[in-house]
Structure 1
Amino acid sequence: MAETMQTDVAIIGAGPAGLFAAFECGMLKLSTVLIDALDEAGGQCAALYPEKPIYDIPAHPAIEAGALIASLEQQIAPFAVPRLLGRRIERLDGSRGAFALGTDRGDVIHARAVIVAAGAGAFGPNRPPLPGLEAYERTGSVQYYVRRKEAFRGKRLVIAGGGDSAIDWALELRDIASHVTLVHRRARFRAAPESLAQLEAASGPGGPIELVVPYQLHALHGEDGILGAVEVATLDGDVRRIEADHLLAFFGLSTDLGPVAQWGLQSALHHIQVTPSTCETSMPGVFAIGDVATYPGKLKLILQGFSEGAMAAHAIHPIVHPHTALHFEYSTSKGLPTAASGVAPAAA
């Protein structure tokens, strides 16, 4: 059922940056609504690699992506932030202080400011052009993300790709799978030096990872969508058959900002340009944070997205409360606001 909602800030994207922006807005008594095209909050952390450890979150030497999202959800719980999930923003009308956003399900959100925390936008895997691929996808024999490492315990895995994801998961699954074969079209991999050193050690004689280079995926063999073997080939026509229970293909993501790209925001290389001190875009009242935002010196780190969420929230406060001075206080002395800010929903 479509909804009509009134809020101070509409946050497009419920990944880590969007969730923390909702917290920062709540601390300033700004009401928010989270909107995301996915059916669950968490963005790529939840959808692509919930069990993958992240090592650069302050105060967490290591934290799994799914656990990070759970903690962010717990952090914003006092503010009872409503969310519209499985919705895609199709239009943005109005101006600073009085925007109206519409979703593909007919929802209308009236907001005084907008934060775009859309990451890379809607995403999906780049799929290898193999005959009969869909049947193997339906059974889970071919996958593009690792959501549960235990699903591969004792299995024969073929991992295809030459970047960080392929190498990281080959290393992560080497002690879980019965055998890991890493296939790449050339002998040189593109990954962090430390990961490459670990791969070299793990792929030596008798190691848990077998390197098959320079080969490319050529065909899948099995019955009723249940994989039995992966066929690979060189450019010279040499063909090799690898017995396998699963193929994990890591050829990157195809991303699309969708209608957001048509709003006329100043952009560069599919990223939205913002003012570094406020994260405001070229459209007054619309802000961008996280991976979708760019400015000189930008670092694509989750922690930078957190900082940008705080800056955007503080820049939005005078839009929502133009006659109220914001006296900044540390959370250690301020604590959480006594009453959660909310939105006013109405039947559409």
Structure 2
Amino acid sequence: MPATVETDVAIIGAGPVGLFAVFECGMLRMRCAVVDALDAIGGQCTALYPEKPIFDIPAHPQIGAAELIERLERQAAPFTPLYLLGRRAESLREEAEGFVLGTSAGDSIRCRAVVIAAGAGAFGPNRPPLARLEEFEASGAVRYLVARREDFRGKRVVIAGGGDSAVDWALSLKQIAARVTVVHRRPKFRAAPESAAQLEAAAARGELELAIPYQLHGLEGEDGRLSAVVLATLKGETRRVEADHLLAFFGLSMDLGPIARWGLALDRHHIRVDPATCETTLPGVYAIGDVAAYPGKLKLILQGFSEAAMAAHAMHARVFPGQALHFEYSTTKGVPLASAPGGQAGVAAPAGG
């Protein structure tokens, strides 16, 4: 049933940067509602690589993507955000004291500020143009992400692609799969140089196979059960690789969707912001994380965390006009749980519907 929500800040995107924005806003006693097109929080960390290790989160030499999301959710929990999942942000209308954000589920969210933390927008995998692809997708024989590494124990796995995802999962799955074959159309990989070197070393030791220069050509099997992947060179030479699973890592197709029609200044599929505040060209609307563009921008989760803090401080005057912001370190102020103006700190209260 569509909800009518009154809150301080509407956050579009429940990935790691959106979740940290809930915490930063909560520390300044701003209530949040979070909208995401996926049915679960976590963004790409949940949908694409929940078991993948991340190495550049401060104080965590290594942390799994799923664990990072669980910890961010726990960090935001004291501010009791309202999560509106499985719906897309559709419309944005300005009104006297802020905005009304509409969703694909018919929700109406009244807020004083909007934070777009939508990565690069709604995303989906780039799918290879193969006959019978849908049949094998439905059975799980063809996949575009690894949700559970254990699903591939003892299996024959073909991995297609030359980027970080393809190389990282080849190195990981070779430890448990019966056989791993990596298909790439040229010898040079786009992955991090150290990872690419590890891949080549593993192939030299016979721990996995590199099928180069080949591309995907066809799928074989019955009743959704994959038996082999057919590969081909640009010259038309073919070979057959027996397989139980095909993992295709050809990147994501990004789309800002309706957000692109909100009148914001865009730089290709990204939103231009003021690097000091992360405010877009529409006052009161901010963009953080991968979707934000400015000179010197780094697409790192930790930079998105910093942008969340900057945006929260910048929007405080809009959420609480006339109220001075006395900045304090979290070590001295702790986590504020007392009631804030307009309701309990962090609670986005439905106003009916």
TM-score (norm 2): 0.97
Tell me the SS of whatever aligns to 1:228: strand
Partners in 2 of 1:41 and 1:4 — Cα distance?
21
Letter in 2 for 1:31: R
Is the 2:174–2:208 contact (alpha carbons within 8 Å) kept by the matching residues of 1?
Answer: yes
* 8 Å Cα contact 1:185/1:214 also seen in 2: yes
Alignment of 1:1-348 (within 5 A): 1-94=1-94, 97-204=97-204, 206-339=205-338, 340-348=345-353
- CA deviation string 1:200-225 (max 9, x = no partner): 11011x42110111111111000101
* Aligned-pair CA distance for 1:95: 5.1
Any conservation in 2 of the 1:95–1:284 contact (CA below 8 Å)? no
| Counterpart-to-counterpart distance in 2, 1:17 and 1:163 | 23
Distance across 2 between alignment mates of 1:218 and 1:243: 14
Distance 1:301 1:244 in 2: 35
The letter for the 2-side match of 1:16 is P
How far apart, in 2, do the equivalents of 1:119 and 1:237 lie? 39
CA offsets 1:166-185 (integer angstroms, 9 cap, x no match) = 11111111101111000011
Worse-superposed segment, 276-285 or 92-101: 92-101
Q: Percent identity?
A: 67
Alpha-carbon shift at residue 74 of structure 1 (Å): 0.4
Structure 2 unaligned segments of length 5 or more: list them: 339-344
Off by >3 Å, runs of 4+ in structure 1: none
Give me the whole-angstrom Cα distance separating, in 2, the residues matched to 1:208 and 1:128.
26
Q: CA RMSD in A?
A: 1.0
Q: Distance between the aligned counterparts of 1:290 and 1:49, measured in 2?
A: 18
Letter in 2 for 1:221: E
What secondary structure is seen at the aligned counterpart in 1 of 2:304? helix
Q: CA deviation at 1:96?
A: 7.7
C-alpha separation in 1, matches of 2:290 and 2:97? 25
One-letter identity of the residue aligned with 2:25 = C
Q: Work out the CA distance in 1 between the residues paired with 2:86 and 2:59.
A: 32
Measure how far apart 1:235 and its partner are.
Answer: 1.4
CA contact (8 A) 1:97 1:113 kept: no
- Please list every run of 5 or more consecutive structure 1 residues that lacks an aligned counterpart in the other structure: none
| Distance in 2 separating the partners of 1:321 and 1:338 | 17
Taking the aligned partners of 1:311 and 1:232, their CA distance within structure 2 comes to 49
Alpha-carbon contact 2:98-2:113 (below 8 Å) kept: yes
- Residues in 2 aligned to 1:220 and 1:106: alpha-carbon distance in whole angstroms: 41
Q: Do the aligned residues in 1 keep the contact of 2:273 with 2:287 (CA within 8 Å)?
A: yes
The alignment's TM-score, normalised by the length of structure 1, stands at: 0.98
CA–CA distance in 2 between the matches of 1:26 and 1:56?
A: 25
SS of the equivalent of 2:112 reads strand
